[in-house]
Amino acid sequence: METMSGDRTILDRIVDARRASVAHRKRVLPDVALKMAVQKAEPPQDFAAALTRDSFNIIAELKKASPSLGIIRETYVPAELAALLEKAGAAALSVLTEEEFFQGSLGHLKEAKKATQIPILRKDFIFDPWQVWEARAAGADTFLLIAAVLPDATLRELLDLGRSLQMEPLVEVHSRAELDRTIAAGAKIIGVNNRDLRDFSVRLETSLELVESIPDDCIAVSESGLHSHADLARLRSAGFDAFLIGENVMKSADPGASLRSLIAGDGAAAS
């Protein structure tokens, strides 16, 4: 798959497309309507608490497709998958809601929410407060912020908004510079993405290189490229509290069994 167009990366193209989509949706659904819906919504669940149990805390991701792999799972029924993953021991769920590149939707998040009792994170490319209100109105308990696409002022603004709604965001970084900015902004849940969103290459060592610089009072999450219980054990020993796993479970014929194997370490890796 082509990952670059001139100096433009996949991430650039995704964010540009997302900005156009959000601009259109904001015209159709003003934030006043979203805020009214939020007032009627059930309070969000405690995402941070779910990630700090004395366990291998897995954020299991529901993802139908990706720019690098195309279709990951042909039969994609979010409610069924969410229930399976909760039963298999997931501490929380992450649901892709970006439509064009990942074939997700807010509808998928709503379906997963109805089928489970664990916290659900909206995974998307969020840069506008309107999207945070949209996430809460849809039932999300928290949301992802990607440091690479957010200037410092916007990162702080979205962190503050999330907290005002009792949604502590997961802030994702891929480099020391992004980590330093994220710490300075006051993030409390920091995810190290082992996948470089500029070209979608994966290095597990990214997590190991950055974890010692994550403050002790922050929750540390390792994301992407995790294939076995041994990977989880190594990263937990290094200081990570939780792990976000998507493709390896989504590609499995039995996602529940794959997740249980990852958590239990019974010798079977997710596939």
Q: Is 224 a catalytic residue?
A: yes
CB neighbourhood size of 254 (10 A) = 14
Q: Is 111 a catalytic residue?
A: no
Percent of the chain with pLDDT over 90: 86
Q: Which of 224, 248, 258, 261 is catalytic?
A: 224
- Is the pLDDT at 5 greater than 80? The verdict is no
The confidence band for 192, taking pLDDT boundaries of 50, 70 and 90, is: very high
pTM of the model: 0.93
Return the beta strands (E) in the chain as ranges.
4-5, 8-9, 57-62, 65-66, 70-71, 92-96, 120-123, 142-146, 170-173, 189-193, 219-223, 242-245
Q: Which of 172, 247, 248, 261 is catalytic?
A: 172
Phi, psi of 105 (to 5 degrees): -170, 160
Nearest one of 101, 108, 48, 32 to 76, comparing CA atoms: 108
CB neighbourhood size of 68 (10 A) = 16
CA distance 144 to 57: 17
User: What is the model's pLDDT at position 4?
Assistant: 43
User: What is the model's pLDDT at position 182?
Assistant: 98
Q: Which of 94, 113, 123, 168 is catalytic?
A: 123
- pLDDT tens profile 121-144: 999 999 999 999 999 999 999 999
Nearest one of 111, 131, 159 to 15, comparing CA atoms: 131
Q: Is 80 a catalytic residue?
A: no
Q: Which of 98, 111, 223, 247 is catalytic?
A: 223
User: What is the model's pLDDT at position 7?
Assistant: 67
Q: Are 78 and 111 contacting, i.e. CB atoms less than 8 angstroms apart?
A: yes
Burial 98-135 (b: 16+ CB within 10 A, else e): bbebbbbbbebbbbbbebbebbbbbbbbbbbebbbbbb
Find the range with the poorest average confidence among 186-190, 234-238, 248-252: 248-252
- Give the residue-averaged pLDDT of 234-240: 97
- pLDDT tens profile 91-108: 999 999 999 999 999 999
The confidence band for 220, taking pLDDT boundaries of 50, 70 and 90, is: very high
- Is the pLDDT at 232 greater than 50? The verdict is yes
Structure-token pair, residue 163:
């907290």
Long-range contacts of 163-166 (CB under 8 A, 24+ apart): 165/38, 165/44, 165/132, 165/136, 166/43, 166/44
Q: Is 74 a catalytic residue?
A: no
Q: What is the DSSP letter of 69?
A: T
Residue linked to tokens 């998040």: 109
Q: Which CATH architecture has domain 8-264?
A: Alpha-Beta Barrel (3.20)
Q: Is 26 a catalytic residue?
A: no
Q: Is 247 a catalytic residue?
A: no
User: What is the model's pLDDT at position 103?
Assistant: 97
Q: Are 240 and 59 contacting, i.e. CB atoms less than 8 angstroms apart?
A: no
Q: Is 61 a catalytic residue?
A: yes
- pLDDT tens profile 47-100: 999 999 999 999 999 999 998 889 999 999 999 999 999 999 999 999 999 999
- Residue partners of 27: CB distance under 8 A and separation at least 6: none
